[in-house]
Amino acid sequence: MKFWSQYFVPTLKESPADAEIASHKLLVRAGLVRKLGGGLYTYMPLGLRVMQKLTQLCREEIEAGGGIELWMPHVHPVENWEQGPRWAAAREIMFRTDSAGAGKGRSKEPEFVLGPTHEEVITPLVKQEITSYRDLPKNFFQIATKFRNEIRPRFGLMRAREFVMMDAYSFDANDEAAVKSYFAMKSAYEKFFKRVGIQAIAVEADTGVMGGSFSHEFMVPAEIGDDDVIYSESGYAANREKATSALVPKNIADAAPVGAIEEFATPGVVTIAALATAPYNVPGDQQFKTLVYIGDGKPFIVILRGSDELEEAKIGSLGFTVFRPATAEEIEPVLGAKPGSLGAVKGTIKNADALAGVFADHAIRLIGNGTTGANKDGFHLRNINVVRDLAITKFGDFRRVRPGEPCPQSGQPLQVRRGIEVGHIFKLGTKYSEKFGAVYTDDQKQSHLMVMGCFGIGISRTMQAVIEQSHDADGIVWPWNVAPFHVLICLLDPDSADAMNLAKKLATAAETAGADVIIDDRAERPGVKFKDADLIGIPLRVTIGSKGLKEGIVELKARNSKDVAKISLAEIEQRLAAIVNEEKRKAT
């Protein structure tokens, strides 16, 4: 048991000026964290207790799902990252350092990075240690600090530059086994979030180059979330980056040409909207929108309906390591016109050979014959037929889904809501094992690449997500399993030896039943103690007051209820133990 007067729970009456959302304010007000700098937080004693509980729950479920815990360095030699597949894409968010600060004296300074995640460490380790199919599958995990130099940290622990994450890495002999590992982890995640006492739904997530449906994010529904979840009543749920709809029928017939291409002057018209108004009157959904990107140094084109938005993440499926929108200066020499008059009609592209490809969204088939830029400033072309006229390399899904479109599984209207990503599971395949040479020998003496998966749970972010999902006007309402303490004994008259003895006796009874107990023995007025008790959100409160003692009772109150039960001194020990046992049972 802990005594509040000797512990450290610095609660605040007022919200800090730099916190905007409820969970961030409560984190600080309840004395769980303090800020050092943007995205950098100290876990105060109470916050650390919550983190430790989350960590232990996570450890138990990941182990039950096949994980083996280890601990890797957070300082990584840069060579590991240079050898890996995503150095170019990841380096921007990595903290970089050298071995000795300034290190001016030496010509060659070893260089290090702080680990944002550990594929580049675990894969070489496994390559070194595992060479036989007999040692597979293996799934290693750690629960440790991660460093990411986020461009914009947000909302306290929600997106921090240093944070705590569980990261697991599975190694399997083949694809089938890797899928098995993947779903074992998915089920471990579901059990973990259930035990935490938080509603987290698995949604399909962007898989980048892998394709298929082998990435899921675990989302906590919340308005302040960073991600949009697209879902339908039928159970379909996907991150907007990944979501599709049944807007375009699967076997839509290609439209026949309606006539010869006609060029027409559109002076000053450089937007979809402008072309949609008089005198042109070409509706957005009859225009071809031509976007130019630079992928790994080469320009490429994406064609969408004028009325659609590009979902940039979906470009990831094209296989470029890094990509970005092209600038007007980069576009003109390739297409021959400035943005606003661009098109992908065969023969109009000034330097078609420079292009890495022309990728078209399926939805342009709905246009059939439409209008697009002429690659000549101030001119557009009409009667452009998708099949006959456009220089398409490949069709794909690149558009951003809109709410109301039919669900790809059930046809019901899609809906959207915000979510906080608290976990992500990913079937990696052989992307890393290839780079690092992680191979094993099978029972036929054949060498094969190991098939990998990687899995993450944001532990510190989950702490805040719990608060975001479970609080009221007075403070936090901790679910039993992650509460920093289960029972708060509110000692209104700490100077009374009888009251103190009773508090200790009840604390012992609750502890014996399996609860963590804190006794508020501060020399504060009752109002202060009650306010603080609600603020820090301990599930069970026992109030020992001199009035009650005269009547021979103490009071029992649950944080998530308004009811106050008066229990006689004769019964209280037993009742308290019984309630603790019941709460433990409910929380599993």
Partner RNA sequence: CGGGGUGUAGCUUAGCCUGGUAGAGCGCCUGGUUUGGGACCAGGAGGUCGUAGGUUCGAAUCCUAUCGCCCCGACCA
Minimal CA–CA distance to 243: which of 229, 257, 223, 233? Answer: 229
Q: Between residues 336 and 545, which has the closer beta carbon with respect to RNA?
A: 545
Pick the closer one to RNA by CB: 384 or 519: 519
Q: Which is nearer to RNA, 119 or 389 (CB)?
A: 119
Q: CA dist 84 to 184, 353, 437, 467, Å? A: 27, 31, 11, 37
Q: Strands, DSSP E only, in 18-127?
A: 33-37, 40-43, 68-69, 75-77, 96-98, 111-114
Dist CA 377 CA 374 (whole Å) = 8
Residue 534 beta carbon to RNA: minimum distance, rounded to whole angstroms? 4
Binding site residues, RNA, CB under 7 A? 11-18, 20, 29, 35, 37-39, 86, 89-90, 92-93, 116-117, 146, 148, 150-155, 159, 208, 226, 312-313, 456, 474, 492, 525-528, 530-535, 543, 545-548, 555, 557, 564
Closer CB to RNA, 390 or 492, in the complex: 492
Structure tokens, 502: 């009773």
Give whichever of 60 and 150 is closer to RNA, judged by the CB atom: 150
Find out whether 490 and 458 touch, Cβ atoms under 8 Å.
no
**Spatial separation of the C-alpha atoms in residues 311 and 396, rounded to whole Å:** 12
Residue (of 448, 429, 455) closest to 210 by Cα position: 429
Q: How far is the CB of 20 from RNA (least distance, A)?
A: 5
Residue closer to RNA, measured from CB, 528 or 578: 528
Q: Which of 209/252 has CB closer to RNA?
A: 209
Neighbours of 259 (CB within 10 A): 9
Q: Smallest distance, Å, CB 116 to RNA?
A: 5
Place of tokens 């898989």: 207
Question: For residues 424 and 146, what is the distance between their CA atoms, to the nearest angstrom?
Answer: 15
Residue nearer to RNA on the CB measure, 516 or 555:
555
Measured CA to CA, the distance from residue 33 to residue 474 in angstroms comes to: 18
Question: CA 264: distance to chain centroid?
Answer: 48
Tokens of 347: 């023969």
- The nearest distance, CB 411 to RNA, in angstroms, is 29
**Cα 139 from Cα 169, distance rounded (Å):** 5
* Residue 479 vs 545, nearer CB to RNA: 545
Least distance (Å) from RNA to the CB of residue 345? Answer: 27
Please tell me what DSSP assigns to residue 407.
Answer: P
The nearest distance, CB 368 to RNA, in angstroms, is: 30
Neighbours of 506 (CB within 10 A): 24
**Least distance to RNA from the beta carbon of 389, Å?**
29
Alpha-carbon distance 154 to 61, whole Å?
Answer: 29
Contacts for 182-185: CB closer than 8 Å, 24+ residues apart: 182/214, 182/425, 182/427, 182/453, 184/65, 184/66, 185/62, 185/65, 185/66, 185/67, 185/139, 185/425, 185/453, 185/455
Shortest distance, position 562 Cβ to RNA, whole Å: 9
In the complex, the smallest distance separating the C-beta of residue 108 from RNA, rounded to whole angstroms, is 28
* Minimum gap (Å) between residue 224 Cβ and RNA: 8
Helix residue ranges, H only, 261-312: 272-276
In the complex with RNA, the residue whose CB is nearer, 227 or 442, is: 227
Cα–Cα distance, 390 to 310 (Å, whole number): 18
Q: Which is nearer to RNA, 36 or 354 (CB)?
A: 36
- Minimum CB distance to RNA, residue 264 (Å): 33
